[in-house]
Structure 1
Amino acid sequence: MKASIAEAEGRLDELVRRAEAGEEVILTHHGKPRIRLEPVDKAASKAVSRRALLEEIQRSARLNATPGPSAARSQDFLYDEDGLPG
């Protein structure tokens, strides 16, 4: 449901109840969406699930990382046995 901010001033109780019931409530200003009303529990659970997802991705990346060649010797082909550019 969409409602203007001016309209919402008189219907805030109704809009809050609708948002708590799971309905998407968007407040607009000059016809452009500005604010979304949603229950705190829903917003908190989104943040927790995002954090859990990021932690799982990081854990998976650590487990699947494979060591590459040593950077200490990666440029050796540029120099000859005397250490001069070849």
Structure 2
Amino acid sequence: MKVSIAEAENCLDDLASRAAAGEEVILTRNDEAVVRLLPIQIRKKRKISKEFFKALQAEVRAKATPGPSAARS
């Protein structure tokens, strides 16, 4: 769907809803495409289990090399 920016001012909420639903919405100025409205893809945050975190810590500690730490250098 192509809509002029002047028209979009009056129906921006509707255009945003259409774009979020997957419809291609292009805003035009002087009959030239200027802007495309796209939905933002929100990723769900994953919770890291305590067991995974402890296993990761153990793995890192096992790979650490002895010597002066960065804090003391």
Same fold (TM over 0.5): yes
Between structure 1 and structure 2, the one with the greater Rg is 1
Query: What is residue 40 of structure 1 aligned with on the other side?
Result: 40
> Higher RCO, 1 or 2 (CA under 8 Å, sep at least 6)?
2
Task: Tell me by how many angstroms 1:9 deviates.
Answer: 0.1
Using the size of structure 2 for normalisation, the TM-score is 0.56
Distance in 2 between residues matched to 1:13 and 1:23, nearest whole Å? 14
Query: What is residue 5 of structure 2 aligned with on the other side?
Result: 5
Tell me, yes or no, if structure 1 residue 22 matches structure 2 residue 22.
Answer: yes
Task: Tell me by how many angstroms 1:40 deviates.
Answer: 1.2
Q: Which runs of 5+ in 1 are unaligned?
A: 45-86
Distance in 2 between residues matched to 1:30 and 1:8, nearest whole Å? 14
Bigger proportion of residues as helix: 1
Question: How many residues matched?
Answer: 43
Identical residues among aligned pairs (%): 56
1:15 partner letter: L
Q: Which runs of 5+ in 2 are unaligned?
A: 44-73
Which portions of structure 1, spanning 4 or more consecutive aligned residues, are displaced by more than 6 angstroms?
A: none
When the two chains are superposed, the root-mean-square deviation of aligned CA atoms in Å is 1.7
Distance in 1 between residues matched to 2:6 and 2:41, nearest whole Å? 26
